[in-house]
Structure 1
Amino acid sequence: MSTTPEPVLKATGISKYFPGAIALDDVSLTLHAGEIHALLGENGAGKSTLIKCLTGAYKKDAGTILLEGKEINPRDPQSSLALGIGTVYQEVNLLPNMTVAENLFLGWQPMRFGMINNREMVRRSKQVLSEFGLEIDPTLLLSSYPIAIQQVIAIARAVELAGKVLILDEPTASLDRDEIDLLFSVIRKLTERGMAVVFITHFLDQVFEISDKATVLRNGRVVGTRTLADVTQTEIVTMMLGRQLEALERKGNGKQVGDTILELERVGRRGDIEPFDLILHEGEVVGLAGLLGSGRSETANLIFGAAPADQGSMKLRGKPVRLDNPRSTIRLGFGLCPEDRKTEGIVGDLSVRENIILSLQARRGWTRPITRSRAQKIAEDYVKKLDIRLASLDMPIRLLSGGNQQKALLARWLATEPDILILDEPTRGIDVGAHAEIIELIQSLQEQGMALIVASSELEELIIYSSRIIVLRDRRQVKELSGDDISIGAIVQSIAEEEVANQ
């Protein structure tokens, strides 16, 4: 922990606006020398936007940034680096076809008689690397070393160029435990040298293992900053999700479920999701709860065949099946509304009508095209049923509001009359009215006997319509809740891996 009274970096009142959205609203962050400061929040919380404002990738619309007491306004990441702020991302942003030494000194190579002094560059590279605990050959190509070593090399370069503040954005996402230990030892050495480190990750265990403080963002605003020695993981999870540990009334879950429709036994995908069991019944909603990176989307994509399982067995209505690609799962009666509707769901330049019939056409096969008149009738029916607000079915779907885009995606799958519908964050980023309508639709589909799997960070929603809730953490299932055991408190404490109160 820092004993320096003056912060190395102090950002105050940072705001950033995009058309129709406030990405950051009066955000402040203070970093001290020798401190590891975690920056936490779910998708869309504002972490990336804040980092881009601090490093000049975005121009902030309001606020001030003080570096060692002097106001700075970096124009771009290069000017930020020159001022003393370095950033290392999950995907190593170096050149694998160049040597380690060339990567370390790219842009500031030692020169002799107007030419690059390779001997001096190699000598200085060895010296720099040894300070980071790496005794490797800097004349070899960067690609000859594992990702963890490449991460340390990227950090070494950033530190040598910056030297005051180091921002690490998801640096451990693709590392195993030994590699994480190596990285953490490097980070600790940097703080001993007086550097301030920002650590962005969705692995809470790692946050508590290495960080001194944490600032939590939600919906573009700071929820709070905490000294981690004084709080529990449950408190941090609650801050991130914006939930209090109190049960809300659950509705519509006394309904008797129907026959078993899907059985998964020890199904998993190496590197994505650990093996799990799942039994799904007609007229049942199974909720998937967990923080960003817990495995919610990976589970949804695995069941749909978008990222097929490489282990385990599957049965659909008692018969063995392989869910190994979306085309086959669509024909078997599955549908999936993905988390990122703009890049993985809608086809922005196609009309609303064309987007609605897309999955039905794929299910029929492209040799049996749906006629224009039938497509119009299908689209009109679902526009009316789901109250999709639009000027014309011919308009590009990208021109619709977020809520209406989401309802059009739901219409796409409902047109196929699926037996199993998988929804990944179905109410994210939509207005309050559409939000309520989609929740009512989920309840209506359940009452009609459809089986649904819903992955969501909106815990109030999950506990209202879910028959059961599977809690995930670090890409594995850690708890299954049903009946009276379903509550926000039980979910949050399961995520935090702490003993559930009164159990």
Structure 2
Amino acid sequence: MAEKEVMLHIESLRKEYPGVIAVNDVSFDIYKGEVHIVIGENGAGKSTLVKMLAGLNTIDSGTLKLEGREYKPENVLDAQAKGVNIIHQELSMMENRTVAQNIFIGREPVKGFWIDKKAMNEKCRELLDSLEIEIDPSTMVRDLSIAQQQMVEVAKALSFQSKVLIMDEPTSSLTSKEIDNLFRLTRKLRDEGTSIIYISHRMQELMEIGDRVTVMRDGAYIGTREIKEINMQELIMMMVGRKIENAYPRNYNEPGKEMVRTDKLTGLRFRNVDIHINAGEIVGVAGLVGAGRTELAKAIFGYDPIESGAVFLDGKKANERHYSTTRAVDAGISLLPEDRKKEGLFLDMSISENIVQAVARKLFKNGIADKKVENQLSEKYIKDLAVATTSGEKLVKELSGGNQQKVVLGKWLATESKFLIFDEPTRGIDVGAKYEIYSIMDRLAKEGAAIMMISSDLPELLGISDRVYVMKDGELAGEITREEAEFTQEAILEVALRGKERS
């Protein structure tokens, strides 16, 4: 068998921050024309590593070789010029610019002295069509959903002619159809000789798209294996250093009384939605992008306006006149939003300050914060949720994705909510942190809370939910229960695509 050509050689790479060695003496090769998976828990050093490769982070020590020649990117533009591009985990779109402007920023086609907008939009349309992305190039990015913005990020990276393309959590907000399109294009690029470095926490898709996998833990290199020669359980053991028997820890309880009910609820992008959730239940909400899932959640929480219909909590109508998030919280409703960094956290504030945010009005009735009280409350949830931190004074932006999600959860648990809405609760967090989030959700349900979980990860929905509602085009298209023989991904997709109850 012919020896494979090395596209990128990584040798003894190291990156250190004050008090933390993020990447420690990491060495391995990326072959030409392969999809090379890099996995590990949050804090394993994956993102730090690929940011060094893409010119986003400086290299403290170690060497890189691209096609046999020394490669030391000075910045992102230098890396792009040399053929290394990255699709970022965190969205970096310019919200007040169009899709086309975002994709071709700094590379706009010109006619004379002016940008040729028509030519730019046409080039953008061709690119989006190749990805089967149905978005108008002239649409402002601020008007796109998180999933649509993610696809624009993908399109932007693919607009460069890359030797090495780094995909850092590219599918975290995508539906099954969009993931299929991305995988189709990824395989096409691989077959044309592009090397793909792929990071994701969705284990099943790694097994589907990858050729080889490298595992990192605590900043160090653990090993590289052929995907076809390793199974899921072996990978998880390499990642976390322990065995996880059940990916979805759930003790299904006998449901209690009805806790939540909507009556012909109508709002932004959804209409006439009737759902009910009982105490002790976790009820999933599935649907393709644009189905209205997030809009429904935000309306129930008082964030988006309700045009008509009602929300009942514990038998009482919650959405009386001037319904708002404040009234929703007072009624016992909480929302862990899809975009935790923009909508769920104050990144430049401490863990303790974030945890007390939702109860500050009740906790400090005179409007003056008491640091001792704040610390006592926050320490309780830091301990209960096992937030990995040396102090409650640590800034939230310094935490991993999984620990940030725990801080959002701690904020809402402090309100003692009866009804919690989780919108994409495990987006961008690793398998170990996912297990912890699922365990917390199961515990809350056991204690009598009602939980609504929106997720694009169908195995997650099926593994955690008692029942799953399916939405399509803003309407409730069907409901599938765990007791049914067809409690499957195929059944959910059938309802999501057809938009009607299965016979």
TM-score (norm 2): 0.55
For the pair 1:49 / 2:48, whether they are aligned, the reply is yes
8 Å contact 2:4–2:32 — kept in the other structure?
Answer: no
Identity of aligned residues (%): 26
Distance 1:372 1:59 in 2: 44
Give runs of aligned pairs for residues 154-303 of structure 1, distance below 5 A.
154=156, 158-159=160-161, 163-169=162-168, 190-200=189-199, 211-215=209-213, 217=215, 220=219, 224-227=224-227, 238=236, 242=240, 244=243, 246=245, 258-263=256-261, 280-282=277-279, 284=280, 286=282
Matched, 1:316 2:305: no
Give CA deviations for 1:355-401 in whole Å, capped at 9, x if unaligned: 6664345579xxxx812689689658747966989xxxxx9944799
Q: Quickly say closer, same or farther: Cα 1:446–1:67, change in 2 above 3 A.
A: closer
How far apart in 2 are the matches of 1:78 and 1:342? Answer: 26
Instruction: Tell me the secondary structure at the aligned position of residue 158 of structure 1.
Output: coil
Distance in 1, Cα, partners of 2:29 & 2:305: 44
Determine whether 1:371 maps to 2:366: yes
Cα distance in 1, alignment partners of residues 52 and 282 from structure 2: 39
Task: Judge conservation of contact 1:12–1:63 (CA < 8 Å) in 2.
Answer: yes
Aligned-partner residue type, residue 69 of structure 1: G
Task: Give me the CA root mean square deviation.
Answer: 7.1
Kindly name which structure, 1 or 2, has the bigger radius of gyration based on alpha carbons.
Answer: 1
CA contact (8 A) 1:28 1:222 kept: no
Cα displacement string for residues 103-127 of structure 1 (whole angstroms, at most 9, x for unaligned residues):
49849x9xxxxxx9969x99xx99x
Secondary structure, aligned partner of 1:166: strand
1 CA distance for matches of 2:404 and 2:106? 48
Is 1:359 paired with 2:358?
Answer: yes
Structure 1 alignment gaps of length 5 or more: 110-115, 137-141, 390-394, 457-461, 484-489, 496-503
Tell me: CA distance 1:17–1:186, structure 2 relative to 1, closer, same or farther (3 Å): same
- Tell me which amino acid in the other structure corresponds to 2:258: T
Quick one: distance in 2 between partners of 1:224 and 1:266?
Answer: 53
Cα pair distance change 1:20/1:280, threshold 3 Å? farther
Mapping of residues 20-39 of structure 1, within 5 Å: 20-39=19-38
Aligned to 1:7: 6
CA contact (8 A) 2:351 2:392 kept: yes
Aligned 1:96-495 pairs, distance under 5 A: 103=104, 106=107, 143-144=137-138, 154=156, 158-159=160-161, 163-169=162-168, 190-200=189-199, 211-215=209-213, 217=215, 220=219, 224-227=224-227, 238=236, 242=240, 244=243, 246=245, 258-263=256-261, 280-282=277-279, 284=280, 286=282, 304=301, 314-319=311-316, 321=318, 326-336=325-335, 344-345=344-345, 349=349, 358-362=357-361, 370-371=365-366, 379=374, 382=377, 397-398=393-394, 413=412, 416-421=415-420, 451=450
Q: Which moved more, 1:84-93 or 1:189-198?
A: 84-93
Partner in structure 2 of residue 486 of structure 1:
none
How far is the alpha carbon of 1:32 from its aligned partner?
1.9
In 2, the alpha carbon distance for the partners of 1:470 and 1:186 equals 31
Give ranges in structure 2 of 5+ residues lacking alignment. 131-135, 142-147, 385-390, 456-460, 471-475, 493-503
Which residue of the partner structure matches residue 501 of structure 2? none
- Give, as a single letter, the amino acid of the residue that structure 2 aligns with 1:345: L
C-alpha distance in 1, partners of 2:406/2:176?
42
- 3-state DSSP of counterpart to 1:261: strand
1:424-466 CA-partner distances (Å, limit 9, x unpaired): 879x99xx9xx99x989995x778755567999xxxxx9xxx9
Return closer, same or farther for 1:99/1:269 CA change in 2, 3 Å cut-off.
Answer: closer
Q: Which moved more, 1:17-26 or 1:70-79?
A: 17-26
Secondary structure at 1:57 match in 2: coil
- One-letter identity of the residue aligned with 1:371: N
The Cα of 1:413 is off from its aligned counterpart by 4.7
Indicate how the Cα distance of structure 1 residues 379 and 56 shifts in structure 2: closer, same or farther if over 3 A, else same: closer
- Superposition deviation, residue 9 in structure 1: 0.8
Q: After superposition, what is the alpha-carbon deviation per residue over 1:147-179, rounded to whole angstroms, capped at 9, x for unaligned?
A: 9997797456521xxx53233455677888998
Q: 1:67 maps to which residue?
A: 66
What is the one-letter code of the residue matched to 1:317? D
Would the aligned equivalents of 1:262 and 1:280 in 2 still touch at CA under 8 Å? yes
Question: What TM-score do the two structures reach when normalised by structure 1?
Answer: 0.55
Q: CA deviation at 1:195?
A: 2.7
Aligned twin of 2:144: none
Match of 1:459 in 2: none
**Cα contact 2:214–2:222 (8 A) shared by 1:** yes
| Residues 18 and 270 of structure 1, relative CA distance in 2, 3 Å threshold | farther
Residue type matched to 2:245 in 1?
A: E
Aligned to 2:86: 87
Q: Per the alignment, do residues 264 and 212 of structure 1 end up closer, same or farther by CA in structure 2, a change over 3 Å counting?
A: same
Code of the residue aligned with 1:10 in structure 2: it is H
| Alignment check: 8 A CA contact 1:12 1:64 kept | yes
